Structure 1
Amino acid sequence: MIEKMRFLSITGPKEDIDRVIEQYISKYDIQLENALFELKNVRDLHPYIDSNPHKETYLLSEEIKHNFKDTKISNVLDLSVAEAAATVNTLYNDIKKLQDKKTEIEAKKAEYMDRLSKVEQFIGLNYDLSTVLHFNFIKYRFGRINREYYDKLCAYMVNDIDSLFYKCQEVDDYIWGVYFVPESVRKKVDAIYSSLHFERFFIPDGYTGTPREASNALKEKIAKCDSDIETISSEIVSTLNNKKTEFLTANKRLKIFTDNFEIRRLAACTKESQKVFYILCGWMKEADALSLSKSMEDDDCAFCILENDHSNLLSPPPTKLKNNALFRPFEMFVRMYGLPDYKELDPTVLIGITYSLLFGFMFADVGQGAVVMFLGLFLAHFKKSDLGAVLARCGIFSIIFGFLFGSVFGFEDIIDPLWLRPAKAMTSLPILGNLNSVFVVSILLGMGIILFTMCLNIVNKIRFRKTGEALFDPNGIAGIVFYGSCAILIILVMTGNNLPASWIFIILFVLPLLLMLFKEPLMHILFPKKKNTGEKTKAVMFIVQGIFELFEVLLGYFSNTLSFVRVGAFAISHAVMMEVVLMLSGYESGSPNWLVVILGNIFVCCLEGLIVGIQVLRLDYYELFSRFYKGSGKEFIPYGKSED
């Protein structure tokens, strides 16, 4: 079903809009429309131009809110918007001061860490760094060299007394150290070390003592920074916790104010007797609209007007589906195809019944159906999944048809079928001979569903005041008469009954075809509209085009009916696939391999369940929906719902 909607307009003094939004509008689901667009025939309307004075403060509050793991509060304080803004700004400033101090200490720590990383590799040098870094006649080079080249370096050192390499420590495949060289031979020695892939590291000035002493001093400073950072972090947490209730209340208050303020974008303003009035308009459920109108009856500053005639409105009524818990999960499929127009029939119940029925017919097994049902119940209960709820309902129908076909996990000797065995039941028909019974049933079921959807199409056409299409459309009354007559004729032939007289044949078959062929001129005669100034189609071309279109319609009737053969085909294939599983397990020999039985059931359940689910949805969309349903509705999107 579709909720009945009412269009309403609310007006009052411009300065009173915040009170009305908070006192009335925020308590209901309402889809607001642009008042300037809806009331464009009203003179002297202009947009409501205003800026939110607390928007930046609200954004600050959202930024601070991320610091709280739990944002639920039991005691909500009574704060005005101004008080809420002041609370947020005060807390933000307090936190910012602490955060700035923390950032400053973190920068110092990063500097100490960088200096430590540069000196700790040279801890083995037992000499004051400040002295080394200020040598005047001896040059120094800190760095590392690969162990392989270090041996070659040592060989050079024996013959070259102008360089001294001081080894500090070994790390992985590298030797860390420093070499000293007189200024006079610096270039020559640097070239030798460079050829041996010596990687130089630059040590900045500012260290005191040996590398080990400098490293220990830096570690103490880093530890002090960590302690200070932890202290400030605790202060931040403490400050936030002390102000938690007050802040979260302020955040909530600012959010409500900001959301309500955005309504101004959809409002219009008009001036009357030197006073400016706002106008808000939108759609509500009829029950809510009546409740809102009644609550505003005694309000001296605001007025609510309900519109009874929707034909005068520019925006069409939005669609809000309303179905009971049994069929509500199937709204998922309706939304995938497209929501119904406000005047259209809601197909949720139809797809709920047909989807479950056809799925059960095609996937008939008591055991596997129970598995599907319990899986669906699990997903629906714990994951709140609509698909899980659909599976649960389909599983129930699979169990029902499992009893009708006598199948339990593929075993057909556990229970007797209440109806027939899909792979073995045959029906003798005139002309066709022996035909599997499930094929006959699936064709008859398909014909019944097609005829029913044609009836729904007539109802939809009448709702949209398209009487001509309801009468002469291939899915209208003419189509029902022709297709229904074909169905009756086939049943009479196959059951060996007498055929109707020739004049009945002409009325039931030829007349509907003529009505469909001459649909356009008949509609023009019976329901005249404005003259078409475009090019007129010649009679001969009209007849030729009409005959081809009629042939396409007849072909469509035939192909759509045959599409339901797949329902019987899957019912048979399910039974055959399970026979193969049991044969592979050695069930016929009396000593089955139960692992093969279990794995086979899992494979068939997953594979065929998925394919059947897709095929049934295809039947619903292409064979049912295409006959009566457009799915061109606009979803009801409320501005918001008040929080309890």
Structure 2
Amino acid sequence: MSIAKMSLVSLTGGMDVLDDVLMRLYRQGDFHPEQALQYAGARGFEPLSGENPYSGLLSKITEIGLDAGMKLQYEPPKASGQTDARQYSRQYYQDFYNKFNDELTYLNKRRNFLRGEIEQDENALVQLKHIAALEVDFDELFSCEYIKIRFGRLPVDSYPKLNYYKDRMFVFVPFDKDKEYYWGAYFTLEENAPDIDNVFSSLYYERIRVPDFVHGKPEEAFAAIEKELAANRQELEQVKSRLEEIVSQNREEFRLVYSTLKFLNDSFGLRKYAAALGGNFYITGFIPQEKEKAFQEEFKALPGVAAEIKPHDSDKRLQTPTKLKNGWFSKPFEMFVEMYGLPSYTDIDPTGYVAFTYCLLFGIMFGDLGQGLLLVIGGALVWKWKRMNIARVINRIGIFSCIFGALYGSVFGLEHVLDPLYTNLLGLPGKPIEVMDPAMTNVVLVASIALGVVLICSSILVDIYIGLRKKDLERALFSANGVAGFIFYASVLAGGVMLLLKGVNLFHAPYVICLLVLPLTIILFKEPVGKLARGFRLREAKPKDGMGSYLTEGAFELFEVVLSFFSNTMSFLRVGGFVLSHAGMMAVVLTLSEMVGSAGSLLVMIIGNLFVMAMEGLIVGIQVLRLEFYEMFSRYFDGDGVPFTPIAVTPFKNRA
């Protein structure tokens, strides 16, 4: 576990090569830029500004690609030093867009028109099918001056109700009937049409409007529409084929055009990090130390460009970014560290410590060899298929679950499956830890508190180390998580253990004064004592708000410190509680499997194990994270670092 070493780099050169410099920085992929305004003001530089000439064209290319059904996949320039990305002018991209867009627009319009015509013809055929029994010419019907005709369908249960309106001036003629409707038309005089329309509307009559293009008798219209429909379908297939052909012909060129424009657009956006004076530009940022040689080689070929590499702390106005650097086992746990906050560049990377303690606590609380193996396998498969980082965490904690499951002798809740292994192969009287033994309950709970003490002490030692590394004596020696706090906590624990186990009372006056009162007094006055240790004079070390205000506030803080030591220690009781809880839940599953008999026993075991893994696994994972954050992280971790964010072309998220 470590934090990658950084170097501060500055690039200067003429404005005529700025675009080439920006694109090479993107190709590097390891350059963390700093804003120009942070450093340029004192030198008379001004930040660059200007409208991006590629953004509008990129938007057009993106939209036409989506319309054509293409996947927008960015491919970076092939190699450092090449200028493939600038071999074409903006006019080339504009011409490509115009030509491609014109072809697609025409074909899309024609395709949409044909689809509309086909839909219209298909609807007309459905209507004609139900009025095929009509032997009258449509043109003659609709040319009637005094009679109104309404084609449509009437629900079957509404048809008898027409008798209630037999005194009205209308005639309903059914042409067809299915399970739900009578298909037909009603005829009425023009002056009675509004009243009759209301009558049929109350009976849920659904009008069907015969399209204007339908002429002649139904069978004649039917044949004409089918002929037109076949022609439109044939042309639609031709249009689709032509669209696929055009997209296929332009796919490769589109990919190059899109990638180039995407690269040019994003690299132009890097100008906000540059400052200019006269005809020169200035860019600064951070790179990993291991990339120094490659970085300098990248810019050697550009005339007039100087790449200067300096120590990371050369400019005190800039905060060095943090890039975590961890191995195979610890790397997935970086997300837990980042959830709390990144360590600063001068701090230590706690990821390895977090990885080990998280897996250790989870394994203790969720010890089962069979379930642990499922976590290992399931985590590996999910990572392979979905690339979810949490899957790698599940894979690691599954390993520790297997280890403690073997110590508990538990396999899918079966507590004695491994007994022959311990007795016959290892020569032990039984499994190492019998969780279900009532006599072990107190041992498990006491052991969990002891583990908490070890982890809290180790967290304090980490904070002491960080304080000494930063030469912060107040933090390392006089704080609650420094030497003073460690002495107080260890002394209270030592005295308590000796009193409970040996009956020896260490809490005599010298012990209390030297190891309890004195450390607490130092913690109370840590700020003035820390200033004195840094060389301040006595009057300069006094609290600014006065000693009375300082003591009042400090007393409450000191009470909180003492309370947190004991509350944090007792929080680790949950570790032992979940050990017993897990064993108890699996005992319930076994009892249920025995109750259902041999037929459903296996099914109950499978469902029970999956339920326990899902529910208790999630709860245990959250509880361990809580212990990490509140009982350990809070003692040594500040989380005030700045993430190392190298510039990169932002990928487009394709529509689902």
Question: Shorter-normalised TM-score: what interval?
Answer: 0.7 to 0.9
Instruction: Answer yes or no: is 1:187 the counterpart of 2:191.
Output: yes
Could you tell me which of 459, 463, 466 is aligned with 2:465? 459
Instruction: Answer yes or no: is 1:46 the counterpart of 2:54.
Output: no
The CA deviation string for residues 525-569 of structure 1, in whole angstroms up to 9 with x for no partner, is: 334499699972343x54454334323221211111111122222
Report the counterpart of residue 614 of structure 1 in structure 2: 622
Instruction: Answer yes or no: is 1:522 the counterpart of 2:523.
Output: no
Cα shift at 1:122: 4.1
Could you tell me which of 134, 143, 149 is aligned with 2:143? 134
Cα shift at 1:572: 2.9
- Matched residue type, 1:353: F
The CA deviation string for residues 220-269 of structure 1, in whole angstroms up to 9 with x for no partner, is: 22332222222122112112212322222222222222221221233222
Q: 1:124 to 1:267 in 2, by over 3 A?
A: farther
Cα shift at 1:202: 5.7
Report the counterpart of residue 483 of structure 2 in structure 1: 477
Instruction: Answer yes or no: is 1:99 the counterpart of 2:105.
Output: no
C-alpha distance in 1, partners of 2:433/2:414? Answer: 14
Report the counterpart of residue 435 of structure 2 in structure 1: 422
C-alpha distance in 2, partners of 1:617/1:124? Answer: 77
Q: 1:232 to 1:446 in 2, by over 3 A?
A: same
The CA deviation string for residues 94-117 of structure 1, in whole angstroms up to 9 with x for no partner, is: 322333343444455566567667
Could you tell me which of 621, 627, 631 is aligned with 2:639? 631
- Matched residue type, 1:60: K
Report the counterpart of residue 7 of structure 1 in structure 2: 8
Instruction: Answer yes or no: is 1:353 the counterpart of 2:356.
Output: yes
Cα shift at 1:443: 2.0
Could you tell me which of 296, 300, 306 is aligned with 2:299? 296
- Matched residue type, 1:633: G
Cα shift at 1:151: 5.5
Could you tell me which of 495, 505, 514 is aligned with 1:507? 514
The CA deviation string for residues 28-74 of structure 1, in whole angstroms up to 9 with x for no partner, is: 3222222133322221x233233333433322322333335567899
Report the counterpart of residue 549 of structure 1 in structure 2: 557
Contact 1:10 1:305 in 2 (8 A): yes
Contact 1:26 1:642 in 2 (8 A): no
SS across alignment from 2:354: helix
Q: 1:230 to 1:558 in 2, by over 3 A?
A: same
Q: 1:130 to 1:59 in 2, by over 3 A?
A: same
C-alpha distance in 2, partners of 1:495/1:590? Answer: 49
Q: 1:406 to 1:194 in 2, by over 3 A?
A: closer
Cα shift at 1:13: 1.5
C-alpha distance in 1, partners of 2:371/2:160? Answer: 75
Report the counterpart of residue 390 of structure 1 in structure 2: 393
C-alpha distance in 2, partners of 1:533/1:542? Answer: 10
Q: 1:624 to 1:15 in 2, by over 3 A?
A: same
Cα shift at 1:188: 4.8
Q: 1:426 to 1:512 in 2, by over 3 A?
A: farther
- Matched residue type, 2:458: F
Structure 1 residue runs of 5 or longer lacking an equivalent are 428-434
Alignment of 1:399-438 (within 5 A): 399-413=402-416, 414-415=418-419, 416=422, 417=430, 419-424=432-437, 436-438=442-444
SS across alignment from 2:247: helix
Q: 1:155 to 1:107 in 2, by over 3 A?
A: closer
Contact 1:454 1:627 in 2 (8 A): yes
C-alpha distance in 1, partners of 2:299/2:492? Answer: 60
Moved more, 117-126 or 615-624: 117-126
Instruction: Answer yes or no: is 1:365 the counterpart of 2:374.
Output: no
Structure 2 residue runs of 5 or longer lacking an equivalent are 79-83, 423-429, 652-656
Report the counterpart of residue 61 of structure 2 in structure 1: 61
Contact 2:363 2:403 in 1 (8 A): yes
SS across alignment from 2:3: coil
Q: 1:254 to 1:85 in 2, by over 3 A?
A: farther
Could you tell me which of 538, 546, 566 is aligned with 1:537? 546
SS across alignment from 2:454: helix
C-alpha distance in 1, partners of 2:47/2:319? Answer: 22
Contact 1:362 1:567 in 2 (8 A): yes
Q: 1:549 to 1:396 in 2, by over 3 A?
A: same
C-alpha distance in 2, partners of 1:152/1:603? Answer: 59
Contact 2:312 2:320 in 1 (8 A): no
Could you tell me which of 639, 648, 651 is aligned with 1:640? 648
- Matched residue type, 1:10: L
Report the counterpart of residue 449 of structure 2 in structure 1: 443
C-alpha distance in 1, partners of 2:192/2:181? Answer: 26
SS across alignment from 1:141: strand
Moved more, 287-296 or 110-119: 110-119
- Matched residue type, 2:103: D
Q: 1:479 to 1:422 in 2, by over 3 A?
A: same
Could you tell me which of 225, 229, 239 is aligned with 2:232? 225
C-alpha distance in 2, partners of 1:190/1:542? Answer: 91
Could you tell me which of 205, 209, 219 is aligned with 1:212? 219
Q: 1:544 to 1:640 in 2, by over 3 A?
A: closer
Cα shift at 1:302: 1.2
SS across alignment from 2:325: coil
Cα shift at 1:324: 0.2
Report the counterpart of residue 432 of structure 1 in structure 2: none
Alignment of 1:275-286 (within 5 A): 276-286=279-289
Identical residues among aligned pairs (%): 31
Report the counterpart of residue 431 of structure 1 in structure 2: none
SS across alignment from 2:33: strand
The CA deviation string for residues 180-229 of structure 1, in whole angstroms up to 9 with x for no partner, is: 64xxxx42576457545585666575543223323432332233222222
Report the counterpart of residue 654 of structure 2 in structure 1: none
C-alpha distance in 1, partners of 2:541/2:124? Answer: 88
Count of matched residue pairs: 622
Instruction: Answer yes or no: is 1:326 the counterpart of 2:323.
Output: no
Q: 1:479 to 1:65 in 2, by over 3 A?
A: same
Cα shift at 1:423: 4.4
C-alpha distance in 1, partners of 2:592/2:139? Answer: 85
Q: 1:73 to 1:472 in 2, by over 3 A?
A: closer
Give the CA RMSD over aligned residues.
3.8
Cα shift at 1:450: 0.9
Report the counterpart of residue 425 of structure 2 in structure 1: none
SS across alignment from 1:343: coil
SS across alignment from 2:645: coil
Contact 1:5 1:285 in 2 (8 A): yes
The CA deviation string for residues 269-323 of structure 1, in whole angstroms up to 9 with x for no partner, is: 211xxxx222222222222244212443464321112342526343422222110
- Matched residue type, 1:458: I
Cα shift at 1:625: 0.5
Moved more, 439-448 or 205-214: 205-214
Report the counterpart of residue 378 of structure 2 in structure 1: 375
C-alpha distance in 1, partners of 2:377/2:462? Answer: 34
Q: 1:148 to 1:284 in 2, by over 3 A?
A: same
SS across alignment from 2:147: strand
- Matched residue type, 2:43: V
SS across alignment from 1:51: coil
C-alpha distance in 1, partners of 2:160/2:606? Answer: 68
Alignment of 1:73-92 (within 5 A): 80-82=87-89, 83-92=92-101
Contact 1:31 1:282 in 2 (8 A): yes
Contact 1:330 1:348 in 2 (8 A): yes
Report the counterpart of residue 430 of structure 1 in structure 2: none
C-alpha distance in 2, partners of 1:195/1:579? Answer: 72
Contact 1:339 1:635 in 2 (8 A): yes
